[in-house]
Amino acid sequence: MPTRRPRPSRPAKTTPTTPTAPATPTAIDLPALRIKIDSLDARIVELLNQRSALVVDVGRYKQAHGIPIYAPHREAEVLQRVLAHNQGPLQSRTIEAVYRELMSGSFALERPLSIGYLGPAGSFSHVAAVRHFGSSVDFEDLHAIAGVFTEVARGHVDYGLVPIENSAHGGVTETLDALQEHGPTGKVHVYAEAQLAVHHTLAANCAPSAIKRIYSKPEVFSQCRAWLATQYPKAELVPTASSSQAMQIVATQGKARGRRGAGGIAAIGSTLAAEMYGLNVLFEEIEDNPHNITRFFILSRTPAQKSADDKTSIMFTTLNKPGALVSVLQDFQRAKINLTHIDKRPAGRVNWQYTFFIDAQGHASDAGVQRAIAAARKHCKELHVLGSYPRSKRVL
């Protein structure tokens, strides 16, 4: 009997499945979004002008009553309030930059202001002045730190801006010396402070590979030493009086020699200076220490009003007796006043005598600060309060 061949088994029936389509992003109506943005822009401009109309009224009141146009305590209040309203996604520094420029425009509506700074144009003092006061004021290059003090004291400029210390290199001796000269007169007051992040830029009107000679201030070369050793180990480093002057030299030589003559030379300085003198920015933030900050004093002929968070700068010369300096510092300790900065310079009258500079937290009108100052005077030949002013909380 023949054997039956087994029938091939049938595959089990399966329910066919539809392949899952890849997720598609939510459709965006770009024209509609742009219409909304345009509408918001119109409202923002309308509100800004409504604010400016109120500023004009404020300006009239200030001028009628002899109130300073620039009031750092009011500036601190406005910035603190608007930053508290910020819920993102814009960063706080963006909001602050917008409001600083808005306040700059307000100064121009109330009364045009002139700001003196250490030049030449494009210097980091110039950068700090622009970022602090905005672009709607007049800036005066006063060529030297001593000149800024003198022109403020004479009333030739409304305010002056000078560097007081750098986080990498310490106190600025020219400013400390000028404070010794002008502080006791009472004609110049420390009115505010500002902090600027110092970033160096390599600029030229030639290709990076063509650079053979680099101009800048010696201190700038030292701050970019590692980067230069890696990128331009064979380049000749030519010292100049300032980084702004370096930009001027490179721009001027390039124009004098024609476009081809621009090859081979570059400068290190601020991005502002590169833009002002018509140089191309090749590399930004080439400094070895990205956290380098310079602190500036804003000078005025009048003292600043009290704010919610102040500092007081004091200059003193101690009596010639053992422990005089320690006694002064202990007086502030006993009054529970924190000192955030201390520096010294030769007094300039007698050899080996020094003038000390301190920054204390608090306003000179605060009871604790007043007690500390009164106690410290007993150990000093001279003691002068240079100014009380709102503490800078953010870096420009």
Q: What is the pLDDT of residues 105-133, one digit of tens each?
A: 888 888 889 999 998 899 999 999 999 99
Distances (CA, A) of 182 to 113, 176, 193, 295: 22, 10, 18, 19
**Residues found in the chain:** 396
Q: What is the mean pLDDT of residues 264-275?
A: 94
The rounded Cα 106 to chain-centroid distance in angstroms is: 20
Give the model's pLDDT for residue 389: 96
Domains and CATH numbers, the chain: 51-110 (1.20.59.10), 113-198+297-302 (3.40.190.10), 201-284 (3.40.190.10), 304-391 (3.30.70.260)
7 pLDDT tier (thresholds 50, 70, 90)? very low
pLDDT in tens, 11-37: 444 444 455 555 555 678 888 999 999
Percent of the chain with pLDDT over 70: 90
C-alpha 299/C-alpha 124 separation (Å) is 17
168 pLDDT tier (thresholds 50, 70, 90)? confident
Q: β-strand 114-117 against 138-141: which pairing, if any?
A: parallel
C-alpha 295/C-alpha 286 separation (Å) is 20
Give the model's pLDDT for residue 27: 75
